[in-house]
């Protein structure tokens, strides 16, 4: 006999399997529902620039700089990697798992400026991605007036970039990130990085918030 596993299935509370897993479920729910921060306004990711992508990219860059104990120039986060929004109100561990359901890790790569130019043009063509430490204008689907750290972009310089292992392998149409002069595998899960950052910020009296800064503007 076939039993459909869909919304028509009713789970009996006296089912021995339900009774067996109930303590584990309660323990997991307690962990996942733990509040780690507070967001005064909702944040979501969208092009060309958004509160959520700026927030995530800033955490990437700051965490990478802390790891290396020296400044990291740029952070690049794909909008598609931010899988949900953060609503206004309490921020929980569960939300971190929804935002970052993958087991991606923080990577720090060195890439020559000239190799990054095609990437920035491609980012401009799709309307933008999450960035920190830099800015550019979009004109005719091209990146113009590129700046890093408030200075004109230098094609001859090796820039340190904080990103994740998925992008560092050239995925999500970012093949230029494979052209690495250096590579540091931190072993830090991105989800854990975000969770730790929010915990520490909350302990310091800060909320989960960001602002639009003109990192990517359309001309």
d(CA 50, CA 178): 26
**Residue 84 dihedral angles phi and psi, to the nearest 5°:** -155, 175
Global pTM value? 0.88
Secondary structure letter of residue 219 according to DSSP: -
Q: How far is CA 203 from CA 51, 199, 212, 214, in A?
A: 21, 6, 24, 29
> Measured on CA atoms in the order 190, 196, 198, 204, is the torsion positive or negative?
negative
pLDDT for the residue numbered 12: 53
pLDDT for the residue numbered 219: 87
How many CA atoms are closer than 13 Å to the CA of 78, on its beta-carbon side? Answer: 19
d(CA 93, CA 39): 13
d(CA 196, CA 129): 24
The Cβ of residue 12 has, within 10 Å, a number of other Cβ atoms equal to 8
Specify the range with the lowest mean pLDDT, choosing from 7-21, 81-95, 185-199.
7-21
The CATH architecture annotation of domain 17-218 reads: Alpha-Beta Complex (3.90)
Residue 35, pLDDT above cutoff 60: yes
Average pLDDT of the segment spanning 184-188: 98
Domain ranges in the chain are: 17-218
């Amino acid at each position: 006999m076939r039993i459909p596993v869909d919304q028509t299935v009713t789970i009996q509370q006296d089912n021995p399997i339900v009774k067996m897993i109930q303590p584990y479920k309660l323990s997991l729910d307690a962990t996942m529902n733990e509040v780690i921060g507070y967001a005064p306004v909702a944040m979501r990711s969208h092009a060309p620039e958004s509160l959520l992508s700026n927030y995530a990219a800033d955490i990437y860059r700051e965490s990478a700089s802390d790891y290396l104990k020296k400044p990291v120039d740029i952070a690049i986060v794909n909008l598609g990697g931010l899988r949900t929004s953060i609503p206004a109100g309490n921020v929980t561990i569960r939300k971190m798992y929804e935002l970052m359901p993958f087991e991606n890790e923080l990577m720090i790569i060195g890439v020559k400026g000239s190799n990054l130019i095609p990437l920035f043009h491609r980012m401009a063509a799709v309307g933008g991605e999450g960035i920190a430490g830099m800015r550019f204008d979009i004109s005719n689907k091209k990146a113009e007036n590129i700046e890093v750290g408030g200075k004109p972009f230098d094609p001859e310089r090796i820039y340190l970039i904080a990103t994740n292992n998925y992008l560092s392998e050239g995925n999500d149409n970012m093949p230029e990130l494979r052209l690495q002069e250096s590579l540091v595998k931190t072993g830090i899960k991105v989800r854990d990085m975000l969770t730790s950052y929010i915990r520490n910020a909350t302990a310091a009296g800060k909320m989960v918030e960001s602002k639009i800064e003109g990192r990517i503007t359309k001309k």
